[in-house]
Each structure stands twice: as structure tokens, then as C-alpha cells.
Amino acid sequence: MASTHNRSIACWLLTIILCACTDAQLSLSFYDASCPSLQIIVKGVMVASTLTDPRVPARIVRLFFHDCFVNGCDASVLLADTPTFTGEQNAAPNKNSLAAFDIIDRIKFAVELVCKSTVSCADILTIAARDAVVLSGGPSWQVLVGRRDARTASQSAAESDLPSQFSGLSTLVTNFANKGLNLRDLVALSGAHTFGVARCASFRDRAYNDQNIDPLFAAILRALCPPSGGLIDIAPLDVKTPTIFDNSYYLNLVSKKGLLHSDQELFNGGPADSIVSSYAADRSIFFRDFADAMVKMGNISPLTGSSGEIRQVCSRVN
């Protein structure tokens, strides 16, 4: 009886281990032998680029998000349009907004010098996103690697799958659930709006027509963003500490100073309020959840094994 019981426990454990292996596919040690200096190269370029342009970290983190939400973390967002190829970069949420493609190209160039045709652009972007957060004062985490690069990209998927700043909470929850991410992940990942900027067009409605906004804050936004035009006008996503990765984004939400309508939806008397309050009260809870959620987002449908390819240049397929 006892041995049958033990055997079934062993079977059960084996199933779990096998499931975990086939499911995860990514690992911490994937490049340990083939490219031992990978981490240090990525970090070096990130440090140097950030010194010359402080906007780099936020841009890289957003690139990573926009990659992972569109057919998984497969570097599809990095593929530039050509006369015969339409990618994701000109999709509405990305056009005139995503940037720092040149930073990924620079890292890839440096990596190729020492580890030729070995490291995917998707992994480079994932490591760079972690470094961007750390360089700005945020938490660190271990990056799982082993992703491969897509040979295709989808403008229509970018338009349908990326969340909109004009959406309400329930739509945002659905957008994230479609990617296997829950309410807590949504609230934690939105904390990336602790740095970086948005263009006037992204917050104009909020400045002129929104509820649930501090009146003085709305007046400041109106001064920054005219009722029409304002193509080059921008505002920081986190009015308190625009370049530092901290929890002040959540303190802003509690005082109705979220820049985007979608930001303020996380603190509007609904189910996300208690999570926002806990992050506003304790930076370490936010840091822990953010790091966990970034790993989770990095696991969205990676290409592994013999799928896809290792691109030589991140902006085009081999």
C-alpha cells in the first residue's frame, strides 16, 4: 500500500518536473558556455547610452513591453519596415513614439563581436530592460534566456493587442488576461510609468475632459498641452520623480495625478485600489511584484529550440 502511494507521489513529481521543463524552456544558464560575457556587454552599453541620453532606460523598458505583448517576446518589434515588409513599428501605439532601437542595435553589434550568431535580439532586449530598471534605481532580478527571434512581425496584432491609454480598467484587465497576466501583474507592470514621458496627444483628453483628476494637476497639463496640435509637447509620466524608478507613480495615483486616463483607472474606487495603496505605502512590495511580473511578461510565448532564428542584425531577418 505504502509503496503504491510512494510510486504515485513519484509519478506526480515526475509529471510536475516534466511539465516545468517543457513549459519553461528558458533558463538562467543558456549562454553560460556560449557567451559568458553577455551580461557585462549589455550592461556596459546600457550604462554608456544612459549617460549620454537619460531617456534611454524608459524607452528600453517600453520596447520590451511592446515586444512581449505582440505575439510574445520574439524581437518582432525590432524589425524595421522595408518596401517589401510591414512590421510593428508603424502600428498606431508605436508610431512616432517607440524609440531606442539604435541602442539595441549597438548592444547587438558589441555582442556579435565576441559571440557570433549566438545571442537572440529578444534576449538582448530582455536583459537590457532589466538593466534599465536597475540603472534607474529599481529592483534587480535574474533574467531567463534562450529566446529566439521571429522571422515575421504583425502590425495588426500590435494594433489589437497593445493596451490603449483611453481604456477603462475592465478592458485593461482583459488585455492583460489575454497574455496570461492578472490584475496584480497589471498594476505592478504599470508602475513602469514611474519614469519616461508621454506626448500631448496621449494625455490631452485627460487634461481637458477627464474625471478623477486633481484640478491643479489638470491645469498644469493644460498649460503643457494645447487643445489641438502640440505635436512636440510632452509631460513626465511620474510628476514627482520623472527619471527615478521608485513607487511615486502610485502616490500620484492616490492623489489623482496619474498622467494617462489608463493610469488613473487603477485607482478609481475599483478592485485595483487596494493594490495601488499597498505599493504607495511600501516600495519593497512594489519592487518585488514588479520584478516577478517582468519575469512573467518575459515568458509570454517565447520562440525556443529550432523555431525562429538568431538574427545577425536586430532590425532585419537574416
Active site (catalytic) residues: 66
With CB atoms as reference, the residue minimizing the distance to ligand HEM is: 196
Which residues within the stretch 173-232 sit at the binding site for ligand HEM (CB under 6 A)?
A: 189-190, 192-193, 195-199, 202
> 96 or 156: whose CB is closer to ligand HEM?
96
Q: Verify binding: residue 250, ligand HEM, rule CB under 6 A.
A: no
Choose, by CB under 6 A, the member of 39, 164, 301, 304 that binds ligand HEM. Answer: 164
State whether the Cα torsion 184-30-158-156 is positive or negative.
negative
Stretch binding ligand HEM (CB under 6 A), from 52-60, 135-143, 272-280, 306-314: 52-60
Report the nearest approach of ligand HEM to the CB of residue 251 (Å). 18
Report the nearest approach of ligand HEM to the CB of residue 81 (Å). 18
Report the nearest approach of ligand HEM to the CB of residue 120 (Å). 20
d(CA 126, CA 122): 6
Instruction: Determine the size of the site formed for ligand HEM (CB under 6 A).
Output: 25
Instruction: Annotate each residue in 71-100 with x if it binds ligand HEM (CB under 6 A) or - if it does not, as one string.
Output: --------------------------x-x-
Q: Are 35 and 118 in contact (CB under 8 A)?
A: yes
> 197 or 291: whose CB is closer to ligand HEM?
197
Instruction: Annotate each residue in 54-73 with x if it binds ligand HEM (CB under 6 A) or - if it does not, as one string.
Output: -x--xx-xx--x--------
Q: Write the CB contacts of 310 (distance below 8 Å, at least 6 apart in sequence).
A: 117, 118, 119, 120, 148, 149
Which residues within the stretch 252-271 sit at the binding site for ligand HEM (CB under 6 A)?
A: 260, 262
Q: Are 154 and 71 in contact (CB under 8 A)?
A: yes
Q: By the criterion CB under 6 A, which residues form the site for ligand HEM?
A: 55, 58-59, 61-62, 65, 97, 99, 163-165, 172, 189-190, 192-193, 195-199, 202, 237, 260, 262
